Structure 1
Amino acid sequence: MFESRIIRLSKEISDIVDPMQPTGSPSPDADVAAFAPTRPATVLLREFIELSEQFERSIGEELEVNPTDLQAMEHLLMGGPLAPGELARRVGISAGATTTAIDRLVALGHVTREPHPTDRRGILVVPQESSRDRAMGRLMPMIMGIDAELDAFTPSEQETITRYLAQVVERLRGHAERRAPEE
């Protein structure tokens, strides 16, 4: 089934682009087809990214939060309690937008504001266990299922897959870097 899907995707790609022909240099007026990926792995990565975004939207809908609030929740669930300023920095939003997001998350019962244990003027935004359990209840089966797919490959093949994905992550990281918000 997997191989037939790759073959189908490869044929769809070759209908768009002849991999043996140069695509020319990128320009704003360029034909999108000239930049279509020509390898099945690249097509599958694009589909993986799209499905990941769809999955994330689904979790956001289930938790009744918008994308910014979901991103804040992800940082809190993975990193534990955070000061509002640190949360703002990690999400990449202003202090005012962070306050609004925290207010919404508090109103929904996803987080609480608690006194900072060492800074009597500060507060921490603390994720609630019930929200963590709901989110992880959706995430963990997906994560474990993806991880189990590696069992079909030899250790050597797994190393190759890992090396390729590490390079893809670094490439994406380089393109995703953004300037820090101006104060």
Structure 2
Amino acid sequence: MDTVGSLPAAAAPPDGAPAGAPPVRDATQLLRQLLEVSDLFEERLRGHLTVNQTDLDAMGHLLASGPLGPSDLARRLHISTASATTLVDRLVGLGHVTREPHPTDRRGVLVVPTASSRERAMAMLAPMIADVDAVLDDFTPGEQQTITEYLSRVVGVYRSHVTGAAPDPAGARR
């Protein structure tokens, strides 16, 4: 029997699946495992940084986008401005961010990630990202293109189920 790790080639439908549901393929099971281990990695990162999920989400936005105003952060996190203020206070207290004057709005402030916080986060993230990226080196350029196309289509399917839009049959990258 073909296996991937300890998975059978064609596993039974997942628990709770409707009667007659097709078996789940190895790749689909592995994507589920990837999501689960990703959650575990994120939990470890939160512990390393001593933050909760919302704090980590805020830090992710700040590290990816650069400084943001508290209102912008609130919108991105789908929380109230009062909650964003509390969140920023907490992150300031932990040394993850500072409040700095807005360069063009004298009444505004920007929430800025600290260099030490960025370094702490990247100390865990960079090796993991590099190791995941290095896995692709084991595949030919054609195989890498196929993997990329598959993952692009999977992301499109996930997005369609989040937004309610029909999946893009062409699997265009988004």
Using the size of structure 2 for normalisation, the TM-score is 0.85
CA-to-aligned-CA distance 1:124-180 (integer Å, 9 cap, x gap): 0000000000001100100010000001111111101000101111122223349xx
CA contact (8 A) 1:106 1:112 kept: yes
Q: Secondary structure at the match of 2:67?
A: coil
Which position in structure 1 is the counterpart of 2:36? 50
Structure 1 residue 17 corresponds to structure 2 residue 13: yes
Partner-residue secondary structure (3-state), 2:79: coil
- Is 1:76 the equivalent of 2:62? yes
Could you say what the CA RMSD is over the residues aligned between the two structures, in angstroms?
2.1
What does 1:145-156 align with in structure 2 at a 5 Å threshold?
Answer: 145-156=131-142
Residue aligned with 1:32, SS? coil
Which secondary structure does the structure 1 equivalent of 2:98 belong to? Answer: strand
Higher RCO (C-alpha under 8 Å, 6+ residues apart):
1
Q: CA deviation at 1:17?
A: 3.2
Unaligned runs of 5+ in 1: 19-30, 179-183
Instruction: Indicate conservation of the 8 Å contact 1:112/1:125, yes or no.
Output: yes
Identity of aligned residues (%): 55
Alpha-carbon distance, 1:8 to partner: 2.6
- Please name the residue that 2:168 is paired with: none
8 Å contact 1:84–1:95 — kept in the other structure? yes
Higher helix share goes to which structure? 1
Q: How many residues align?
A: 161
Per-residue CA distance 1:65-116 (angstroms, 9 max, x = gap): 0000110011111111001111111112111111111110011010011100
Question: Which residue does 2:45 correspond to in 1?
Answer: 59
Greater strand share, structure number: 2
Q: Does 1:132 align with 2:118?
A: yes
Compute the TM-score of the two structures, normalised by the length of structure 1.
0.81
Aligned partner of 1:115 in structure 2 is 101
Question: Structure 2 CA distance, aligned partners of 1:36 and 1:87?
Answer: 42
Closer/same/farther in 2, CA of residues 83 and 177 from structure 1, 3 Å limit: farther
Equivalents in 2 of 1:41, 1:116: separation in Å? 47
Aligned to 1:32: 16
